[in-house]
Structure 1
C-alpha cells in the first residue's frame, strides 16, 4: 500500500512539472450586454475600435450670406411689432383720432386682401369672399365687446398696465414662429404649436390692455381691430409674399423697417437709435457670431452610441 502511494505521488509530481499549453483567447468582439469576455479586461479595446468613428456627420454647414438673408424675417416681424406699438403710443397721446384709426383699419384690411389675392396661389376669389364674411362677423363681435374692453382695467393703475403689456410683448416676440412653419395656408394640415398659441394669446391680451386705456369706445374698437388684423393676419400675408417671391419679401421687409424707424423717430431719438442698432445686431452681428461659433462645433458618432429605434408602421 505504501509503495502504491509513493508511486502515485511521484506520478503527480512528474505531471505537474510538465509544461501546460495556454489556449489563445477568443477574438475580441464588441458586446453591449454580454459581460466580460474570457481572456480580456472589461475595458479592453482593440486597434480597430475607432475605425467606425464619424465626426460631424449631422452638422449642417451654413453660409454667412444665407444666414443673413434668413435673419431678415426676424427683423421684419420685430419691425411689425414696433409699428403696432408706435400706433398705440400715438393713439394714447391723442395724436391719431378715431376716424384716422378707422381709415387705417380699412386700408390695412383692403391691402391684406389684395396681397393675398396676388401672391397666394391657393387663394381664389370665392375663398377670399368666404374669409371676408368671416371677418365681417369678427368685426361685428369686436364692436359689441368694445364697451367691455373700455372698462376692463379701470381699477388697475397705468404703471401696472404698461409693465404687463411690455412683458406680454416680450413673451410674444420670444415665442413667435419666425420661420412660418406653423402658418396654416388654405387646405393645409399644419397645426399650431403650444408656443405659437401662447405667443398669439399674449399679443391679444396686450392689445386689450392698451385699448382699455383709451378715452372712448370707438377708439377701443378701432385700435383693437388694427392690432388683431396685424397680429392674426400679418404673419399669413408676409408668409405668402415670401413664398411668392423672395425678392418681394426683402423689399417688403426693408419697407417695414423704414416705416418703423420713421414712426419711432418723432417719439424718442434714443429709442430710434436703439431700434436701429437692434436691427443691425440681428441681421449682421448675430449671423457672424453663428458662423464663427459653428467652427467649434464638434460631434462624434460611432457604433458605441445609443441605438435609435426606427419603426416602420407600413410593414
Structure 2
C-alpha cells in the first residue's frame, strides 16, 4: 500500500501521463486537453483562375475523345476519305514534332538522349506493322455484334478518361492502362469501318490524338502557359463545332459540360473549402521523424 500511495498524484491535478496512478477515471481529461487543438492546418487555399487553368487538362482529354468519335463517324458515313485523314494527321504530327522540340530548344531531347533518327525508325516500324496488321484488325471482331462493339468502346473510352494522368498523385492513375484502353476502343470502332485502309488510318489517328497530343500539351503547359490556354480554347471550340455537325443537342450538352468543368466546378471547390473542419491534437497518431542527415555525411 505504501508504494501505491507513493505513486498516486496527491496534488489532485490531472496529468497527461501513463506511468502514474491518478484518482481520475481512465477517460478523464481536463480543460487543458483542448489547448493543443488545431483546425485545418493542412488546408490548401486555392485561387479560382489557377483551378480554371488546371481544368484544361480534363478539357483536353474530353475534346480528344469527342474529336476521335466525330472523325470515326465521318469515316463510317463515308464523308471523310482515309487518304485525306492520313495526309492531314501526318502533316499535323510533323508540325507538332517540330514544335515539340522548338518549345524548349531541344533541351528535353538532349536530356533523354533520343535522336531524330531513332524517332524516324520508330515511326516507320509502327506504320509498317499497323498497315500490315490492318486486315487482321478489320476482321478481328467480325463475330461480335455491333451493339456489343459500341458498348465496349464506350466503356473503354470512359476508362481512358478515368485512369488518365491529369497531374494528380493517386493510386487510380495509370497512363499505360489509360492509353491501352483508348487504343482498344479505336480497334473496336475501326473494325466496323468499310475497308482495311480505314482501320489502319483510324488506329494511326488514335495513336496521334491519345499518345502524341497529350505529350505536346504537357510540354506546352509547363513551358508556355499562355499558349497552352489558347490551344485549349481552340481545341474545345473545334471539337464542339465538329460535334455540332452531327448533333445539335449533343453539341449543346457537350458545351455545358465543358463550361461546368471549367468554371462551375472550380467555384464550388473554393466554396466547399469554407466548410472544411479538420481537427488535429494530442489524440493524433504519433509520427516518427528521423533526421537522416548524419547518414549522408
Name the TM-score class by shorter chain: 0.7 to 0.9
For the 8 Å contact 2:14–2:30, the answer to whether it is kept is yes
Distance 1:43 1:193, change over 3 A: closer
- In the TM superposition, what is the alpha-carbon distance from 1:294 to its structure 2 partner? 1.1
Match runs of 1:147-296 below 5 Å: 147-179=135-167, 195-296=174-275
* Aligned mates of 1:269, 1:23 — CA distance in 2: 80
The reply on whether 1:43 has 2:27 as its aligned counterpart is yes
Mean CA deviation greater in 113-122 or 230-239: 113-122
* Aligned mates of 2:9, 2:143 — CA distance in 1: 91
User: What TM-score do you get using the length of structure 1 for normalisation?
Assistant: 0.83
Distance 1:293 1:256, change over 3 A: same
Structure possessing the higher radius of gyration over alpha carbons: 1
Of residues 99, 102, 105, the one that matches 1:118 is 102
For the 8 Å contact 1:180–1:235, the answer to whether it is kept is no
Structure 2 segments unaligned to the other structure (5+ residues):
1-7
Distance 1:311 1:220, change over 3 A: farther
* Aligned mates of 1:228, 1:221 — CA distance in 2: 11
- In the TM superposition, what is the alpha-carbon distance from 1:140 to its structure 2 partner? 1.3
* Aligned mates of 1:313, 1:169 — CA distance in 2: 46
| SS at 1:273 equivalent | helix
| SS at 1:247 equivalent | helix
* Aligned mates of 2:146, 2:48 — CA distance in 1: 45
- In the TM superposition, what is the alpha-carbon distance from 1:78 to its structure 2 partner? 1.1
- In the TM superposition, what is the alpha-carbon distance from 1:43 to its structure 2 partner? 1.8
* Aligned mates of 1:195, 1:155 — CA distance in 2: 31
For the 8 Å contact 1:25–1:39, the answer to whether it is kept is no
- In the TM superposition, what is the alpha-carbon distance from 1:28 to its structure 2 partner? 2.9
Distance 1:141 1:309, change over 3 A: farther
Distance 1:170 1:63, change over 3 A: same
- In the TM superposition, what is the alpha-carbon distance from 1:224 to its structure 2 partner? 0.7
* Aligned mates of 2:219, 2:172 — CA distance in 1: 20
For the 8 Å contact 2:165–2:173, the answer to whether it is kept is no
Structure 1 segments unaligned to the other structure (5+ residues):
1-21, 183-191
For the 8 Å contact 2:70–2:242, the answer to whether it is kept is yes
The reply on whether 1:146 has 2:134 as its aligned counterpart is yes
Indicate the residue corresponding to 1:84 in structure 2: 68
Instruction: Tell me how large the CA RMSD over aligned residues is.
Output: 2.4
The reply on whether 1:71 has 2:55 as its aligned counterpart is yes
The reply on whether 1:135 has 2:123 as its aligned counterpart is yes
For the 8 Å contact 1:165–1:206, the answer to whether it is kept is yes
Encode CA deviations 1:256-297: one digit per residue, 9 max, x unaligned: 011101111111111110111111110111111111111100
Indicate the residue corresponding to 1:24 in structure 2: 10
Distance 1:85 1:36, change over 3 A: farther
Q: How many residues align?
A: 283
* Aligned mates of 2:166, 2:9 — CA distance in 1: 66
- In the TM superposition, what is the alpha-carbon distance from 1:312 to its structure 2 partner? 5.5
